[in-house]
Structure 1
Amino acid sequence: MTATTDGRGKPDGILDRIQNFSDPKQEWRRLFSELYGTFLLVIVAAGGGMMSQAFPGVISRQAAVVAPGLMVLGVILFMGKVSGAHLNPAVSIAFALRGDFPWRRVPGYILVQLIGATLASLVLAAIIGVSSSYGSNYPATDYSAGAAFWMEALLTLGLVSVILGTASGAQNVGLFGAFGVGAYIALAGLWGSPISGTSMNPARTFGPDLVSGNFTDYWVYAAGPIVGAVVAVGAAFVLRGRGGGKSGSGAAQGALFTEVR
């Protein structure tokens, strides 16, 4: 995109370049958006378990699993147009597989999502004063890691299906898709959390595990969501064909510099 001028034939200054969201050099805005959004998600998602440990009986399981859904709803509404509000490596991979998001941007998104989750876990541990392992996810007692893996894959299949569906073609509902995604996360947590904790997000579990130094069965929370996301992309192809079209690319990439695939 060519630079604009100040009316005298001279290029605008640095302020214009900063405000020019169509400039691909503004990728740092997207990356900060993903870091900040994932930070907020993990503050709530991991914070529920850690606060329950610090204040027994105060926060119910229902409240702890519904809160992340409400946070995701809010994050999508306030910054979805900046980065697409993936907040989740499995979602970034799914959008790329779907052809709605450039693969070259995936590593940067995943890196800042992991950083955001880690920063949130550090802040929670410092404020609440309990191990961040209480805010992580582990297979339930008497259930195998394999059972938790399949639960995470199943739950993520539904999550990514909702995300891809509300961001694709005629089904695109813009920012109102936030309500569908937030509601699904809350619903999945209400029935699926007893077995696996309902992570559906490798970054959400990575942060607390890294800070606590306890990566017990972390593979479940890395592999399960990715497998579920890949299957969801296949289901989206069966339902709608290739890609999510212009609306799908816009939803996946935000409005800063959308590359229609």
Structure 2
Amino acid sequence: MSDIHPNSCGHELPNTTTNNRPKRSILSLVDYPPGFSRKVVAEVVATFLLVFVTCGAAALTTSDERKVSQLGASVAGGLIVTVMIYAVGHISGAHMNPAVTLAFATVGHFPWIQVPIYAAAQLTGSISASFALRVLLEQVKHLGTTTPSGTDLQALIMEIIVTFCMMFVTSAVATDSKAVGELAGIAVGSSVCITSILAGPVSGGSMNPARTIGPALASNNYKAIWVYIFGPITGTISGALCYSFIRHIDRPIQTVSSFKLRRMKSNDGNATEKDSPSFV
């Protein structure tokens, strides 16, 4: 509505009042939970360290001196996963893998609206770690890139199977109240180590699109990169769906974002509080 005010000449001019509403960015329109930025930073750091260790160890297995064995690289990969789960699992869930985040969202344990941000954080950590390795291991051109040793089909099938196994175990310890809680990190890390030993000679044992994309960019080697994107995504979604199907659902689905205290029943039936890293 226009308010009428006299000016100095005696004429009455309309004075239109406008409401200047502050412009809102697209991100501000999305209702992210409090502390979400901390989760994003945790994913960046965790994925950085994951890729730095796994790809660094893998790169040294291909060096002329062969300073790290294939077994050593697999063990290093499993250990860094275990360490990161206990380090930042209570903050972000320690996904460190876009395929894992996508699988949790598929079965309803992670909000879809947060998937792109998590994936971007994981890729940021991976790419940063890969270029750091490029500077530190300049003489090693491989940089831990994953490429098929045989055919693309063999590598694809292997990636699907090993990521299925890894995600099946992850779903058990992260979403099921009846599964072990405090040993979740050891269970997931062990599954990564075991499957890496098997898959390493065939596909490189990526199990993680971010773990492949970062080194591929840093070394400019994109051979069969589609295998390491499509394979892990297919395997993780299949593993999560399979466990969700066979488990006994005894409580409503909850969001997978961080570790929390879970109520454990003692032998006499009394509920007691116990620290249980459960991803829920």
TM-score of the aligned structures, taking structure 2 as reference length: 0.77
Q: Aligned equivalents of 2:82 and 2:132: distance in 1?
A: 22
Q: Which residue of 2 aligns with 1:212?
A: 219
Q: Which residue of 1 aligns with 2:4?
A: none
2:175 is aligned with 1:168: yes
> Where do 5+ consecutive residues of structure 1 fail to align?
1-22
Q: Cα–Cα, structure 1 residues 120 and 212, in superposed 2: closer, same or farther, change >3 Å? A: same
Q: 8 Å contact 1:168–1:245 — kept in the other structure?
A: no
Q: Which residue of the other structure, out of 210, 230, 246, is the alignment partner of 2:237?
A: 230
Q: Which residue of 1 aligns with 2:109?
A: 100
Q: 8 Å contact 2:160–2:232 — kept in the other structure?
A: yes
RMSD of aligned alpha carbons: 2.2
Give the structure, 1 or 2, with the largest relative contact order (CA under 8 Å, sep 6 or more): 1
Deviations 1:117-156 (A, max 9, x none): 000011111112135534110000xx11011001000000
Q: Is the strand fraction higher in 1 or 2?
A: 2
Q: 8 Å contact 1:131–1:212 — kept in the other structure?
A: no
Q: Which residue of 1 aligns with 2:194?
A: 187
1:63-74 equivalences in 2 (<5 Å): 63-74=72-83
2:32 is aligned with 1:28: no
Deviations 1:37-65 (A, max 9, x none): 00000011100122234452321110011
Structure 1 residue 232 displacement after superposition? 1.1
Structure 1 residue 168 displacement after superposition? 2.2
Q: Aligned equivalents of 1:36 and 1:55: distance in 2?
A: 30
Q: Which residue of the other structure, out of 145, 149, 168, is the alignment partner of 2:152?
A: 145
2:262 is aligned with 1:253: no
Q: Aligned equivalents of 1:123 and 1:164: distance in 2?
A: 32
Q: Is the helix fraction higher in 1 or 2?
A: 1
Deviations 1:11-31 (A, max 9, x none): xxxxxxxxxxxx923211000
Q: Aligned equivalents of 1:242 and 1:112: distance in 2?
A: 32
Structure 1 residue 212 displacement after superposition? 1.2
Which AA in structure 2 matches 1:35?
V
Q: Which residue of 2 aligns with 1:115?
A: 124
Which AA in structure 2 matches 1:237?
S
Tell me how many residue pairs correspond in the alignment. Answer: 231
Paired residue secondary structure (2:202): helix
Q: Aligned equivalents of 1:181 and 1:244: distance in 2?
A: 23
Structure 1 residue 176 displacement after superposition? 1.6
Q: 8 Å contact 1:167–1:244 — kept in the other structure?
A: no
Which AA in structure 1 matches 2:258?
G
1:33-48 equivalences in 2 (<5 Å): 33-48=42-57
Deviations 1:68-99 (A, max 9, x none): 10000000001100000000011001110111
Which AA in structure 1 matches 2:71?
Q
> Where do 5+ consecutive residues of structure 2 fail to align?
1-31, 261-279
Q: 8 Å contact 1:155–1:188 — kept in the other structure?
A: yes
Structure 1 residue 175 displacement after superposition? 4.0
Structure 1 residue 172 displacement after superposition? 3.8
2:88 is aligned with 1:79: yes
Q: Aligned equivalents of 1:32 and 1:245: distance in 2?
A: 29
Q: Cα–Cα, structure 1 residues 46 and 98, in superposed 2: closer, same or farther, change >3 Å? A: same
Q: 8 Å contact 2:42–2:91 — kept in the other structure?
A: yes
Which AA in structure 1 matches 2:61?
S
Paired residue secondary structure (1:72): helix
Structure 1 residue 210 displacement after superposition? 0.8
Q: 8 Å contact 1:149–1:220 — kept in the other structure?
A: yes
Which AA in structure 2 matches 1:214?
N
Identity of aligned residues (%): 34
